[in-house]
Amino acid sequence: MNLFSKAFASTIPIFPKRFIRIFANKYIAGDKLSDGVKTVQELNKKNMIATMDVLGESIKDKKEAEQSKNESIEVLDAISKYKLNSNLSVKLTMLGLNLDYDFCLSLFTEIMQHAKELNNFVRIDMEDSSVTDSTLRIFEDSKKNFDNVGIVIQAYLRRSEYDVLKLTEMKANFRLCKGIYIEPEAIAFKKRNEIRNNFLKLIRLILEKKSYCGIATHDDFVIDGSRKLISELGLNKEDYEFQMLLGVRENLRDKLVIEGHKMKIYVPFGERWYEYSIRRFKENPNLAGQVLKSIFTRN
Ligand code: FDA
């Protein structure tokens, strides 16, 4: 880990909120649903699709979880009202996954039902390894009743090959990413090349099994490897998509769109942007380094 990133990340919580906002601005659509809608409209005009995420993670009680569920439903309604080309991403800990499995499943089912009525799609984000099993269980339980649900697999986890093989059996719709949480070596690859190689191995497994794959990365190595695989397997646009975070590597993003690949942008918004940013910076100090770099280079 870069010492500069680490030092910078440790000082973040003492910065005024106003200052953090400057750093976070590029990566977060804004405080309100209307900010998210505006950002997605701009992306749609540029030939990109989106997935919207209401910011926040673990919640303390069931009332907060209900509120999160209502917010997700409002997002689905806004997507429909403004005819946005976007779906929804949700974090299950915001729906009470750490409080009560059945309660979380019932809230998530309400969201899924609403999405189905609106002909939309919901992807379950993957959080840290303490909830991998329960997150996959909710996905598998939901998949029995809904086609319009997708899951995320993290290439840094050693278990992911097993999970991918199991989930391709049920024709899961995948987002594959490296994984953003700090995990112990016993369960996660740590070396950059190991993670990259596992990423490419998993994309191949998913695509060869004819499951849909959202390739979520800004890494040239993984993107180049994916491009080669896409042409080797003779895939067309309906079989896969690239995904990137709002505000990250926009030149590369635009290039992939011009090349004709489908590009989905992850658009986070919400009042809890501050807590979200601080947590993300603390979880992964390298991110803080990247944010800082982007402030200076504006890339
Ligand atoms: P890497 O970190 O090596 O980045 C490659 C290059 O991209 C860097 O050198 C830098 O130039 C640039 N870059 C990357 N991130 C940047 C940033 N934040 N700011 C500025 N520049 C940046 N994780 C997870 O655990 N669960 C999840 O559900 C998701 N969901 C998700 C959705 C989408 C659409 C994306 C793109 C990513 C996620 N992630 C995630 C995060 C993912 O696991 C990973 O942490 C980041 O994408 C960074 O990994 P890269 O593959 O981009 O490589």
The rounded Å distance from CA 253 to ligand 1 centre is 13
The pLDDT-based confidence of 298 (bands split at 50, 70, 90) is very low
**Which mutation among 5, 97, 126, 180 tests ligand 1's pocket best, with the greatest number of atoms within 8 A of CB?**
180
The pLDDT-based confidence of 295 (bands split at 50, 70, 90) is very low
The rounded Å distance from CA 218 to ligand 1 centre is 6
Count of CB atoms within 10 A of residue 89's CB? 25
Ligand 1 atom closest to 156 (CA):
43
53-71 per-position pLDDT tens digit: 998 766 889 999 999 999 9
pLDDT of residue 299: 35
Alpha helix (H) ranges present in the chain? 3-11, 17-24, 33-45, 62-81, 101-117, 132-143, 160-169, 192-208, 220-232, 250-258, 273-283, 285-297
2 pLDDT higher than 80: no
* Average pLDDT over all residues of the chain: 90
Question: Comparing 64 with 1, which gets the higher pLDDT?
Answer: 64
179 close to ligand 1 (CB < 6 Angstrom): yes
Q: Which residue has the CA at smallest separation from atom 5 of ligand 1?
A: 219
Question: In angstroms, rounded to a whole number, what is the distance separating the alpha carbons of residues 135 and 126?
Answer: 7
139-195 per-position pLDDT tens digit: 999 999 999 999 999 999 999 999 999 999 999 999 999 998 889 999 999 999 999
Average pLDDT over residues 257-277: 90
Evaluated on CA atoms 126, 33, 27, 45, the torsion sign reads: positive
Q: Which residue has the CA at smallest separation from atom 24 of ligand 1?
A: 179
225 pLDDT higher than 60: yes
pLDDT of residue 114: 98
Q: Of the given ranges (6-10, 178-182, 194-198), which has the lowest mean pLDDT? A: 6-10
The rounded Å distance from CA 155 to ligand 1 centre is 12
CB 115 within 8 A of CB 124: no
DSSP state of 157: B
12 close to ligand 1 (CB < 6 Angstrom): no
The rounded Å distance from CA 291 to ligand 1 centre is 12
